[in-house]
Amino acid sequence: MTDQPTTEQPGISAAIILHEDRVLMVRRAVKEGELMWQFPAGGIEPGETAEQAAVRETAEETGLTVEAIKLIGERVHPKTGRLMSYTACSLIEGEAHVADEEELDAVAWVTHGEIPEYVPYGLYERVQEYLDDAIGGGVAEREADRAQD
């Protein structure tokens, strides 16, 4: 038996961060195929969980301190072929900004209705459901309340 080096790439962990009914999206400095706007994300390092990677990558890319709440889901990304993990995170402190200028060129807090403008090919179903529940319903409920006033 011979030892063969593994060519498998590490999984990618993405952070889904909500604040004031918006989700944080980042624009990559170098476009990855059709991927331009996405969630803060990066490779999972040896010995690191997907949740830990989401927290670390968010700090490195945007300067935000976040806490992992729960793993939303995992899949092989249809555009990149990489294993993706999506972690819901809560904002602890900081102002979102481009902290890693080699990786990013912009950050944006995006409303539920603006998501298709940033990601026209659609989001992973479990992430979309999470956002629909977390910020989609909140907007609709407030609009209904205002209409009754």
Q: Please state the pTM of the whole predicted model.
A: 0.84
Indicate whether 7 pLDDT > 80.
no
pLDDT for the residue numbered 149: 52
**Given pLDDT bands bounded at 50, 70 and 90, which one contains residue 148?**
low
Tens digit of each residue's pLDDT (9 = 90 or more) over 93-105: 999 999 999 989 9
Tens digit of each residue's pLDDT (9 = 90 or more) over 40-80: 999 999 999 999 999 999 999 999 999 999 999 999 988 78
Q: Which of 31-35, 87-91, 94-98, 133-137 has the lowest mean pLDDT?
A: 31-35
Q: Answer whether residue 6 is part of any domain.
A: no
How many structural domains are present in the chain? 1
Q: How many helices (H) and strands (E) does the chain have?
A: 4, 7
Length of the chain: 149
Q: Answer whether residue 3 is part of any domain.
A: no
Q: Which of 4, 32, 18, 8 is nearest to 86 (CA)?
A: 18
Q: Answer whether residue 57 is part of any domain.
A: yes
CATH of the domain at 86: 3.90.79.10
The domain of 102 spans 12-148
